[in-house]
């Protein structure tokens, strides 16, 4: 593949460069800059353009990572004009032609981020420096997304975030080069609180178990605020380490704490474990304060629902997207994903796929890969047909504003994939919020940093 | 407050069961063979995957396609029928339901074979080598075993449902004559605790009351003399390695309903079980068991928010903190002998 | 110069320096000639060299060196945030803080030996890791990792000039340290560390440490207190780990807690053993090999493989890709584990012993000063 070719050509460049140093004694600084004089990082000069996929293929969120990989492969096929075209046919407005991006065929390199920020960052650096990735995308933890996003800002490469739900990604840690299609914890709070109030009443006492990192903290805060506004009390909030496995020592104190709702701010395998264990503790059969004890999982996906099996039935949460939505975009995506892999796409797959397409479309509209122009094309872009209704890439914080789903574990699944019911769709206006509440600064797009 | 503390204590016993079982196996190997086995966690993991494999065998299905019904992406819907039920009817359903405990029957011979194979194939060449090299070779082996499992079963955890009769929580308070519903604890976790007590008792009884065990104990105390008496101590030690593997494997099998196993589960337990062994005292079987339960209970209590309010982060460090204190105050651990493992 | 080091050492150092500085060319055929990986080669080379000063010379197997590495990273990052973007104060600060940590942890842990020492260091490192990951979040920023922000105070920089626009990046008196500059910057430190390790090994202090390794009891019975020596070695090696950690944030400004986990401590042990414990060049080679595996092997996805095997017919290619796929990409750990078992079983002295055996087979007369090495590797006998 391109690895070998690049290696050889670079060696030649280096050899010439080094001969130069030895001959003239020029400092390495000059040589390294001079050898790859280019207007921006990884300007594609050949007939191809490379995406860098940063995927958690192992670790707590591995299942989401594997699904994202499938989605990216599908998106790249569709961008190159192979397959059934998927969402290329329904995206409105669209500048995509199905012949790659700006006539260049799309290919990809990938890296296993192990659901760890450090590793994700090293992988992204490798894909940018060695493999010449023009854009980095993926990730399914907010820690990863924030770490990689700030790296991309330093190197002048656009980052299209995958699954990241922390308020910080487009809040306090937002970056000019980072874009997020997925919704966030604050919007989950807006969406789920009225449904919870309706189902469980205004007089409830909640106990939070929270994954101890940026996403967990912001979700805990958002859900706490939203439920307290309903009139609920918060008994206790307890932080649990990411990937703890056995949560029993955190669950035991919940039993006799006087709480009648357990809120699990966990995701991926952590959520599957903590929910399953909570059910084993008999929490769903308990009566507390004269009310039925309830468990709420503010964010969950179809993959996690499958993992939790029986235990997810009847549990409320929110989702970015679900495969059985009735609109054209969702149908088209489910159809081509299902035909390719034999299972419906998860919300992680959906956001990954959409991000890849939106980046390609922005390049086409900008007419260049030059990041500041692409950023301009994405900022304030309004589109439709991707499954969440009319969607706006907000310029102020690079957050997509679109409708949000409140979901509930299906009591009577008709197939192994039919695990969620969409109980309510919160429209874009309701899920809207002022970007100023989270602070943060995007930074400048220009001058474009040189990545080598 | 009593109910809260009692629950936390129960939880400690339950966490401690796993620690004690793993530490027991580690100590068996160390005490008999003098080998520091970093692959012991991997044996626990392989045991867990015995349960997974057994269930996968039981739930093999025939797939027929129903051309009438279409899935949302236009492919025909597959209808799956479990083979076991087709062959054995209701008994098949019971087999599937009880697959985890039944897979112990599979795990025992498999683990025995793996343990003996490991000892004969690799470990025996390391008796005379320094402990550092034993650690390294078994660590390498642990990586290899983990990766083989990952390549076979994938990187994601595979949930193992517990038998339906043992799901849910038991009302222990009511059993003890207290108000019902105050002290409830998951049934399977109690089963795991009792199971671990049984295994520990069996190992001790075996070492105490059989001739084989007596020879092994003598060998642990003085290998040369026992060898000079014309007893083939090596073969017995090989079998002890196999038994340690079986203990680890059984601990793994029964743990699967509590935590869906994946290839890292062994490594996750390894560090903690080493701390347990060292706290208990290298080479001391009662020490390993006592330290396992002790650390489990301490870890459970340290997770209470009442305690965390005074000592932030105590739940994260308690085990290591105890290890440091014990090693500084009682250099050979709680029940360790003098002169073991001091270079 | 001759009085400073022996002729043989000089040759070794010059050869090593030449290889390090020419790495951008030498590594190119292996697809490794990009700044990020070569920076890591330098940084983990320093880490392994430092670790070897403790383990190789005294025989004390620390399972907690990643803690000093991580502390160095956090300290350097705080220097970038509070003092200056200049890398030199950050490195000095990081080495000093790592030294303090090493002094405290070493003082306590060295009261025990053998596996008890290993477990003590492991326990301390795990405590540092767990705390950095949870309650120390205000200092470490937890799982997300500590980063710079344009709003950081940076008092030293502010004394001289206003806050510049754009993303703050570490620099050396205004020269950016990302990319190749970062590589050469780290390379200078690797060479300095190599020189230091060489001097220590050949000094009376080094001889003393080796004496402790071969028989501590005898040393103790003669009424000789060994602990100050081992503690010095521990602190030096902890400071070098801190230096490595600082360089990692200089070249890639993010300090995350994962680098303190016990697996990271295990990794440096693996590096040292793989290359050859107690040798000078061995640990560096081990570090390079592991980082190469981690970064290059892990990036081979099925796409890359199938183009690699493109000369095969269709069916055979798929089989080859499937089999090879188990050993590279996500499965790169399998290759590493296998390599590791093979090395420990057949070449307990690591790659350096392999090289020596090959050298011996071709009958080249070996230099006298290497004779002692076999003994260095001999077992640290249990009591």
DSSP codes of every residue in A155-167: HT-EEEE-S---G
**Distance spanning both ends of chain C, measured CA to CA:** 44
Query: What are φ and ψ of residue A262, in 5° steps?
Result: -110, 125
Whether B152 is in a domain gets the answer yes
User: Which two structure tokens, joined as six digits, stand for A44?
Assistant: 């594609």
Q: What is the pLDDT of residue A445?
A: 85
Say yes or no for a CB contact (<8 Å) between A249 and B11: yes
**Prior bond to A72 cis, omega within 30?**
no
C150, closest residue in chain A (CA to CA): A443
Q: What is the pLDDT of residue B132?
A: 76
Q: What is the pLDDT of residue B93?
A: 84
Q: What is the CATH number of domain C32-278?
A: 1.10.3470
Å from B303 to nearest chain A CA? 6
pLDDT for B65 beyond 80: no
B-side interface with A, Cβ within 8 Å? Answer: 3-4, 7-8, 10-12, 14-15, 71-75, 77, 150, 155-157, 159, 161, 167-169, 181-182, 184-186, 188-189, 258-260, 264-265, 268, 299-300, 303-305, 308, 315-316
Q: What is the dihedral of CA A242, A246, A252, A257, to 10 degrees?
A: 20
pLDDT for C48 beyond 50: yes
Q: What is the pLDDT of residue A406?
A: 95
Per-residue pLDDT of A265-323, as tens digits, reads 998 889 999 999 999 998 988 888 889 999 999 998 888 888 888 899 999 999 999 99
**Dihedral sign from CA coordinates of A307, A308, A313, A316:** negative
Say yes or no for a CB contact (<8 Å) between A112 and C330: yes
Q: What residues are paired with A237 via a beta bridge?
A: A208
Q: For residues A146 and A166, is the Cβ–Cβ distance under 8 A?
A: yes
pLDDT for C60 beyond 50: yes
Task: Give the domain ranges of chain C.
Answer: 32-278
Q: How many CA atoms lie within 13 A of C10 on its CB side?
A: 7
Per-residue pLDDT of A334-344, as tens digits, reads 999 998 998 89
Per-residue pLDDT of C171-212, as tens digits, reads 888 788 878 889 999 999 999 999 999 999 989 888 888 888
Per CB-CB distance under 8 Å, the chain B contacts of C112 are 327-328, 331, 342
Q: What is the pLDDT of residue A5?
A: 37
Touching partners of B (3+ C-beta pairs < 8 Å)? A, C
User: Which two structure tokens, joined as six digits, stand for B199?
Assistant: 């295994």
Domain residues for B276? 2-54+93-329
Looking at the structure of chain B, the number of domains it has is: 1
* Helix runs in A138-285, H state only: 142-155, 185-200, 214-230, 248-255, 268-280
* Helix runs in A367-405, H state only: 371-378
CB nearest B130 (choices: C136, C334, C379): C379
Most B CBs within 10 A among C58, C116, C133, hence the mutation to make, goes to C116
Top pLDDT among B216 and A318 is at A318
Touching partners of C (3+ C-beta pairs < 8 Å)? A, B
Per CB-CB distance under 8 Å, the chain A contacts of B4 are 253, 256-257
Per CB-CB distance under 8 Å, the chain A contacts of C166 are 443-444, 447, 449
Residue A124's pLDDT band (cuts 50, 70, 90): very high
- Per the prediction, chain C carries an average pLDDT of 85
Q: Report the alpha-carbon distance of residue C106 to residue C117 in Å, rounded.
A: 9
Q: Report the alpha-carbon distance of residue C306 to residue B123 in Å, rounded.
A: 38
pLDDT for C376 beyond 50: no
- Per the prediction, chain A carries an average pLDDT of 86
Mean pLDDT for C16-37 is: 90
Query: What are φ and ψ of residue A393, in 5° steps?
Result: -85, 100
Residue B236's CB: how many other CB atoms inside 10 A? 16
Residue C88's CB: how many other CB atoms inside 10 A? 12
Question: Which residues numbered 253-272 in C keep a CB inside 8 Å of some CB on A?
Answer: 253-254, 256, 258-259
pLDDT for B339 beyond 70: no
Mean pLDDT for A395-423 is: 90
Q: What is the ipTM of this complex?
A: 0.87
Q: Report the alpha-carbon distance of residue B11 to residue A374 in Å, rounded.
A: 55
Q: What residues are paired with A101 via a beta bridge?
A: A104
Q: What is the pLDDT of residue B343?
A: 43
A141, closest residue in chain C (CA to CA): C144
CB nearest B342 (choices: C116, C262, C345): C116
Whether B118 is in a domain gets the answer yes
A173, closest residue in chain C (CA to CA): C149
CB nearest B299 (choices: A249, A256, A331): A249
Q: What is the pLDDT of residue B340?
A: 54
Mean pLDDT for B120-145 is: 87
CB nearest B4 (choices: A62, A253, A286): A253
Q: Report the alpha-carbon distance of residue B226 to residue C347 in Å, rounded.
A: 33
Mean pLDDT for B209-228 is: 79
Residue C88's pLDDT band (cuts 50, 70, 90): very high
């Amino acid at each position: 593949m391109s690895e070998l070719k690049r290696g050889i050509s670079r060696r030649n460049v280096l050899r010439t460069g080094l001969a130069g140093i030895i001959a003239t004694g020029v400092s390495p600084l000059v040589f390294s800059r001079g050898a790859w004089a280019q207007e921006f990082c990884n300007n594609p000069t050949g007939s191809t353009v490379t995406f860098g996929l940063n995927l958690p293929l192992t670790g707590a969120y591995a299942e989401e990572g594997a699904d994202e990989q499938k989605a990216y492969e599908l998106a790249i096929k569709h961008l190159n004009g192979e397959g059934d075209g998927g969402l290329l046919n329904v995206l409105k407005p669209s500048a995509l032609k199905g012949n790659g991006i700006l006539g260049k065929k799309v290919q990809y390199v990938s890296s296993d981020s192990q659901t760890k920020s450090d590793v994700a960052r090293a992988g992204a650096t490798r894909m940018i420096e060695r493999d010449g990735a023009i854009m980095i995308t993926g990730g399914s933890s907010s820690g990863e997304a924030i770490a990689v996003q700030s790296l991309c800002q330093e190197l002048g490469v656009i980052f299209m975030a995958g699954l990241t739900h922390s308020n910080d990604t487009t809040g306090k840690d937002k970056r000019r080069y980072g874009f997020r299609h997925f919704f966030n914890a604050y919007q989950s709070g807006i969406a789920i609180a009225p449904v919870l109030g309706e189902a469980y009443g205004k007089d409830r006492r909640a106990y939070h178990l929270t994954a101890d990192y940026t996403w967990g903290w912001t979700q805990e805060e958002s859900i706490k605020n939203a439920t307290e506004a309903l009139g609920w009390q918060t008994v206790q909030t307890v932080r649990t380490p990411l990937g703890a496995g056995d949560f029993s020592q955190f669950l035991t104190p919940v039993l006799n704490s006087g709480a009648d709702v357990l809120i699990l701010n966990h995701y991926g395998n952590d959520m599957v474990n903590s929910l399953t264990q909570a059910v084993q503790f008999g929490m769903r059969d308990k009566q507390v304060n004269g009310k039925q004890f309830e468990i709420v999982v503010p964010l969950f996906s179809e993959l996690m629902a499958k993992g939790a099996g029986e235990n997810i039935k009847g549990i409320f949460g929110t989702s970015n997207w679900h495969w059985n939505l009735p609109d054209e975009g969702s149908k088209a995506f489910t159809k081509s994903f299902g035909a390719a892999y034999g299972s419906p796409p998860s919300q992680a797959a959906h956001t990954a796929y959409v991000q890849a397409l939106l980046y390609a479309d922005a390049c086409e509209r900008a007419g260049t890969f030059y990041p500041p122009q692409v950023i301009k094309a994405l900022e304030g872009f309004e589109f439709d047909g991707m499954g969440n209704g009319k969607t706006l890439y907000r310029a102020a914080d690079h957050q997509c504003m679109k409708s949000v789903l409140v979901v509930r574990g299906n009591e009577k699944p008709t197939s192994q994939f039919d695990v969620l019911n969409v109980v309510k769709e919160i429209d874009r206006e309701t899920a809207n919020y002022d970007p100023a509440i989270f602070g943060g600064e995007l930074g400048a797009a220009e001058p474009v940093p040189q990545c080598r | 407050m009593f109910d809260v503390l009692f629950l936390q204590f129960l939880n400690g016993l339950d966490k401690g069961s796993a620690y004690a079982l793993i530490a027991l196996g580690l100590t068996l190997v160390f005490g008999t063979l003098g080998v520091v086995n970093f692959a012991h966690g991997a044996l626990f993991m392989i045991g867990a995957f015995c349960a997974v494999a057994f269930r996968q065998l039981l739930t093999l299905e025939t797939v027929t396609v129903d051309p009438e019904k279409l899935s949302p992406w236009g492919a025909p819907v597959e209808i799956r029928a479990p083979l076991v039920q087709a062959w054995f009817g209701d008994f098949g359903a019971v087999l599937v339901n009880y697959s985890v405990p039944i897979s112990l029957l599979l795990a025992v011979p498999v683990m025995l074979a793996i343990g003996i194979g490991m000892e004969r194939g690799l470990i025996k060449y390391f008796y005379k080598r320094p402990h550092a090299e034993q650690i390294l070779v078994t660590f390498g082996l642990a990586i290899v075993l983990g990766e083989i499992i990952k390549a076979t079963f994938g990187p994601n955890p595979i949930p193992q449902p517990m038998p339906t009769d043992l799901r849910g929580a038991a009302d222990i308070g009511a059993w003890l004559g207290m108000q019902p519903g105050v002290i409830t604890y998951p049934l399977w976790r109690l089963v795991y605790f009792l199971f671990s007590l049984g295994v520990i008792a069996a190992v001790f009884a075996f070492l105490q009351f059989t001739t084989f065990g007596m020879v092994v104990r003598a060998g642990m105390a003085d290998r040369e003399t026992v060898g000079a008496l014309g007893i083939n101590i090596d073969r017995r030690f090989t079998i002890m390695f196999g038994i340690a593997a079986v203990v680890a494997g059984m601990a793994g099998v029964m743990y699967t309903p509590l935590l869906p196993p994946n290839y890292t589960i062994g490594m996750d337990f390894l560090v903690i079980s080493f701390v347990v062994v060292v706290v208990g005292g290298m080479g001391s079987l009662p020490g390993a068991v006592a330290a396992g339960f002790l650390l489990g209970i301490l870890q459970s209590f340290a997770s209470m928010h009442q305690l965390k309010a005074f000592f932030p982060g105590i739940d994260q460090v308690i085990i290591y903190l105890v290890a440091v204190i014990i090693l500084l105050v009682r250099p050979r651990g709680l029940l360790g002998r003098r002169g073991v493992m001091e270079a | 110069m001759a009085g400073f080091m022996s002729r043989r050492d000089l040759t070794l150092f010059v050869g090593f320096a030449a290889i390090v500085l020419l790495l951008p060319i030498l590594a190119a055929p292996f697809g490794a000639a990009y700044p990020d990986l070569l920076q890591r080669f330098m940084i983990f080379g320093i880490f392994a060299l430092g670790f070897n000063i403790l383990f190789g010379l005294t025989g004390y197997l620390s399972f907690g060196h990643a803690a000093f590495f991580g502390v160095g990273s956090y300290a350097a990052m705080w220097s970038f945030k509070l003092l200056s973007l200049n890398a030199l104060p950050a490195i000095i600060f990081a080495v000093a803080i790592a030294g303090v940590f090493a002094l405290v942890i070493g003082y306590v842990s060295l009261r025990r030996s053998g596996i008890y020492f290993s477990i003590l260091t492991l326990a301390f490192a795990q405590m540092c890791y767990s705390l950095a990951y949870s309650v120390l979040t205000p200092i470490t920023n937890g799982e997300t990792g500590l980063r710079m922000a344009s709003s950081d105070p940076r008092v030293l920089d502010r004394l001289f000039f206003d806050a510049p626009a754009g993303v703050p990046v570490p620099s050396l008196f205004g020269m950016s340290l990302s990319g190749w500059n970062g590589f050469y910057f780290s390379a200078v430190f690797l060479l300095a560390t190599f020189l230091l390790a060489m001097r220590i090994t050949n000094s009376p202090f080094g001889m003393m440490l080796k004496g402790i390794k071969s028989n501590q009891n005898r040393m103790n019975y003669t009424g000789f207190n060994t602990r100050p020596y081992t503690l010095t070695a521990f602190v030096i090696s902890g400071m070098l780990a801190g230096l490595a950690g600082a360089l990692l944030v200089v070249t890639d400004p993010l300090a995350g807690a994962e680098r303190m986990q016990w697996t990271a401590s295990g990794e440096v042990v693996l590096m040292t053993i793989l290359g050859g414990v107690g040798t000078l060049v061995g640990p560096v080679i081990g570090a390079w090999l592991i980082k190469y595996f981690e970064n290059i092997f892990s990036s081979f996805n099925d796409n890359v493989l199938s183009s690699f095997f493109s000369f095969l017919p269709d069916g055979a290619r798929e089989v080859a890709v499937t089999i090879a796929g188990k050993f590279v990409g996500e499965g790169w750990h399998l290759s590493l584990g296998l390599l590791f078992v093979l090395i420990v079983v057949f070449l307990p002295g690591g790659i350096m012993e392999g090289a020596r055996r090959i050298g011996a087979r071709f009958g080249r007369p070996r230099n006298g000063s290497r004779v002692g090495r076999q003994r260095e590797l001999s077992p640290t006998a249990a009591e």
